[in-house]
Structure 1
Amino acid sequence: MKLTQYFGKVLTDTVNLNASRLEDLDTRVARITEALKAAGALDGRVLDTVPQGSWAHETIIRPAAGLEFDADFLVQLSEDEAWNENPRSYANAVYSALSDHAIYGGMSSKKDRCVRVTYANDCHIDIITYVVMANGRQVIVNRNTNQFEDTNPVGFSEWFQEKDRLTNRNLRKVIRLLKYLRDHQGAFKLKSVLLTTMVGNIVDGWRDLDGDYYEDVPTTLLHLVEDLDRWLQAQRAKPHLADPSCPTTSFNHRWTDSQFAAFRDSIHRLAPKIREAFDASTVDDSIAAWRRVFGPVFPESVVTAAPVSASAAVKSSTGRRAPKERFIEEMFPVQLTDTVSVRCDVSPPRELNRVQRRALRAGAGLVPKQRDLHFAVEGTSVKGPYDVYWKVRNSGLEAERKQFLRGEITRDAGQRRKKESTLYAGNHYVECYVVKNGICVARSRQPVVII
């Protein structure tokens, strides 16, 4: 049996990284970015920051007690022709900026492709030096080899987001569950980028023509693991694994033949266990089988929550109401029977070339000041006619001092688009609501972290 609610509970209670730690991560990255921009070693060279890896893909999981989680972001530096002759000059400048800092000096260490800032017993953040050449080539710096390596971090994130969309936003949750099995249950050993790439490659839009191949988390988990197992069993040796957004870059250096064989065997053992749990005919048998996969963290029961009243929903949405703020629950009954997805493009600063234009969703919502944001309804399962409403909510000291916390809800004029600008540092959000026959049937929130 699928036990969809049970999976929701195990994700929320055990697997997903705590919301407070994600907020701390946003704050830490913003402060590191400020330190880099102010550093004399970089002399105004910092152009942008780009989240990547599990942070950008929303696949970070909660670490085991006493262990750290990790997050990566790229710091984009302006190109310097003299430094191009000695690529590690870029990476050394980033390291100098942090190692000489009053706070980060004792927290920073050199790695081949990054500078690591470690927050003891909580997390470490890897800062990767990133350069976009005048000809559009995107590279990171390998300090050890003193060479540039081709990359396309935003392209990889957009590839993952598209794969996630094809699975009804279930791919990211399945990746989290597989990481939990890896880190907490010892089911296999594999670097996250290899796991994400292989599982993402397995996703095919044609498989979901009837709409139920990826309809929920347990169904998606079953099909992706079984499809991955079939693909792995067909490989007699370590396959060539290319970066899907940068085919000239290979991930093969990240694992050995023996590691590939061990992973292939581990997935072959895991797939029938998941099938047994999924096909169990009773709830008790299914729970027992799922617990053989995930261990005792898989719940033995789920209490169905009572309907949430409008006042309770408002109270839980924010700790403090802004002066002009409204809530959709106060305007319409809310029955979320459908979905809506929103895309946001971020305008690049004028001095950057067009390769810098990127989707906000590919950057984990992190964007510098002085950018234009172009929100648009990308898709919805609601059949027309319907109305679209938007809400923009600011937070932080800058917005509060300017009395610009906002929070109004406005009706879309029919364009299904909204333009905003990034003016105030802080954790903000934009929400989109689809209202049909006087009922809010779909909503989507896009976080916007301005640094």
Structure 2
Amino acid sequence: MLSRIGSLSTGRASRTRRLQAVLSDQGGSDMKLVWLFDEFLKDTVNLNKTRIDLLEASIPALKSFVRDSDWKPKVRTFEEQGSWAHQTIIRPVDNGEFDADLLVMVDPVEGWSADEYVESLGRVFAASKTYEDKVKTWDYCVTITYAGDRKIDLAPCVVGRRWDGSMEVCNRKGSFEQTAPVDYTAWMKERNTYSGNNSFRKVTRLVKYLRDIKETFTCPSVLLTTLLGNQIQWLDKGSDAFADVPTTLKTVMGRLDNWLQMHPTRPPVTNPKLSTEDFSPLFGTDDQYSNFRTVISRYRKWIDEAHATEGRQESIKAWQKVFGTEFAKGDVVKAAADSISENTEQSLVSRFLDSTAAHLNGIVDMVRDYGISILPPSFARPPHMQTPRWRSIPQPVDIAVSAEWRPTSSAQSARTVAAGQALRAQGGLYFRASLVGGTPVPPEYYVEWRITNTGAVAMSARAGRGGFEVSNKADGRWEELAYRGIHMAEAFVVRRSDDVLVGVSKPFYVVIE
């Protein structure tokens, strides 16, 4: 998830709309920022339309391939499953692959064991020139991977083997396992109807985003969706407790925390449409359940505080404590108070900038509050930054950079950090480069890093660091967080055989408070 730098004119129309929203916000004493939640979902959390379109464009070809193949089972139909079917699929926070589940509903084949359904489907795809380099067979499904962007899992589901209408997924280890995917999806849609305004789906996406961006707890999506859905009942329909998205989030997380606190040890979490299926083993170990219980309680407290906080700027900061600086990242809160015009914006930013990149510390505060987009294009190319020394292909491919914060370079504990996220001057970041979609850089290429610092303290201490560095870890680079400022890390991928530059990343902005 890379921040983009642009001119002050970029997105001005959008900021004008935000300003109008500021002036017309009728949120009451609790600054719920409903409009900003909608924007956060649209711009950051939801899987973008382009990728949805790519997913949906792939499905008809897969269906036709299976139907037209010599696969022995008779195909009845196909059913969407999981987050895709529930409309709770979210954008991967690391810009990596997303996946979707498709059940292949088939009649039973006399004499077949469970493993034959999965393995034979895998062989059919592997024998195809179209899919032979995209297919992998797992315990329950066959996965088709498209260029590191998306994965589609096709899982055979046998209908009517045990009794008329029974449904069973197939485990390659030899067992048929009863399932109720259609009924579960209907249950999930029913919860969404009770909450109103599509708010249950939106809240589920928000909590999944919280799980993925914080990485402080683990909880697979089917378990998480069930836990959240269990907190909504038919009596809630039309209730003030579900008046809007932030209020629904507060209500559902509060109820979930209350339920978890009543269960010090891991409780059963049954499929609401299949009482014999217990999702609770997905919690993992007892320690993982205990951690989940503790973390949900912490986030419940933060959400309650944010929902009750008065004052728009204070409320935004409180919600950013929950969701990080991507929430309301482009909001012009202070601009509204100062009636900022285009010239005034430029004046405020330029007040802190210096042609040597030894800018005043106030620019860090502005970026923390307004986002990276307020910086002029020239910020990304300060005078002391070195130019690449390699010959280059005409259009280098895009390279993705991800970062983990660690207390020391050798520490095993880590948490993902987003570009532009405000950090303290402690510990350090472990940067990794990959192809967009998450595929590792192939071994016939090497990566060098351009590490550039800015800010008066950093420029003085490191004499304008802006050159190229080799990887100092097995697959990336470690950098300590030491100097207040807005710094940049960029990855350059070079072909070993002829030292030609073939890939370049956008700047990964590191904001140190």
TM-score, with length taken from structure 2: 0.56
Map of 1:312-327 to 2, 5 A cutoff? none
Q: 1:55: which partner in 2?
A: 84
Paired amino acid for 1:14: T
Question: Is residue 2:213 matched to residue 1:162?
Answer: no
Q: 1:4: which partner in 2?
A: 34
* CA distance in 2 between partners of 1:66 and 1:222 (Å): 28
* CA distance in 2 between partners of 1:33 and 1:207 (Å): 39
How many aligned residue pairs are there? 299
* CA distance in 1 between partners of 2:216 and 2:132 (Å): 37
CA deviation after TM superposition for structure 1 residue 110, in Å:
1.4
Secondary structure class of the residue paired with 2:158: strand
Of structures 1 and 2, the one with the larger relative CO (CA 8 A, separation 6+) is 2
* CA distance in 1 between partners of 2:132 and 2:102 (Å): 19
Structure 1, unaligned stretches of length 5 or more?
304-451
* CA distance in 2 between partners of 1:260 and 1:120 (Å): 35
> Structure 1 stretch 198-207 or stretch 227-236: which is displaced more?
198-207
* CA distance in 2 between partners of 1:27 and 1:208 (Å): 36
* CA distance in 1 between partners of 2:282 and 2:77 (Å): 27
Q: 1:125: which partner in 2?
A: 152
Paired amino acid for 1:115: V
Q: Deviations over 1:80-126 (max 9, x none)?
A: 2222xx12222222112211111111111111111111123211111
Name the CA shift for 1:80/1:300 in 2 (closer, same or farther; >3 Å): closer
Q: Deviations over 1:327-377 (max 9, x none)?
A: xxxxxxxxxxxxxxxxxxxxxxxxxxxxxxxxxxxxxxxxxxxxxxxxxxx
Secondary structure class of the residue paired with 1:104: coil
CA deviation after TM superposition for structure 1 residue 163, in Å:
0.4
Question: Is residue 2:247 matched to residue 1:216?
Answer: no
Q: 1:147: which partner in 2?
A: 175
TM-score, with length taken from structure 1: 0.64
Q: 1:270: which partner in 2?
A: 299
Secondary structure class of the residue paired with 2:242: coil
Which has the larger Rg?
2
Secondary structure class of the residue paired with 1:237: coil
Q: Deviations over 1:153-199 (max 9, x none)?
A: 00000000000110102011001011111112224211001100100
Identity of aligned residues (%): 37
Secondary structure class of the residue paired with 1:109: strand
Of residues 282, 291, 303, the one that matches 1:254 is 282
Q: 2:71: which partner in 1?
A: 41
Name the CA shift for 1:107/1:301 in 2 (closer, same or farther; >3 Å): closer
> Structure 1 stretch 178-187 or stretch 2-11: which is displaced more?
178-187
* CA distance in 2 between partners of 1:261 and 1:127 (Å): 34
Preserved CA contact (<8 Å) 2:108 2:158? yes
Of residues 290, 294, 309, the one that matches 1:280 is 309
Secondary structure class of the residue paired with 1:105: coil
Q: 2:62: which partner in 1?
A: 32
Of residues 167, 187, 192, the one that matches 1:138 is 167
Q: 2:100: which partner in 1?
A: 71
Of residues 235, 238, 254, the one that matches 1:206 is 235
Name the CA shift for 1:208/1:137 in 2 (closer, same or farther; >3 Å): closer
Preserved CA contact (<8 Å) 1:197 1:243? yes
CA deviation after TM superposition for structure 1 residue 287, in Å:
0.6
* CA distance in 2 between partners of 1:160 and 1:206 (Å): 16
Q: Deviations over 1:193-238 (max 9, x none)?
A: 11001000111232446x3111110000011011100000110211
Q: 2:255: which partner in 1?
A: 227
Query: Which contiguous aligned blocks of 4+ residues in structure 1 show a shift greater than 6 angstroms?
Result: none
Name the CA shift for 1:218/1:48 in 2 (closer, same or farther; >3 Å): same
> Cα RMSD (Å) of the superposition?
1.7
* CA distance in 2 between partners of 1:294 and 1:203 (Å): 23
Preserved CA contact (<8 Å) 1:287 1:300? no
CA deviation after TM superposition for structure 1 residue 302, in Å:
5.1
Preserved CA contact (<8 Å) 2:144 2:151? yes
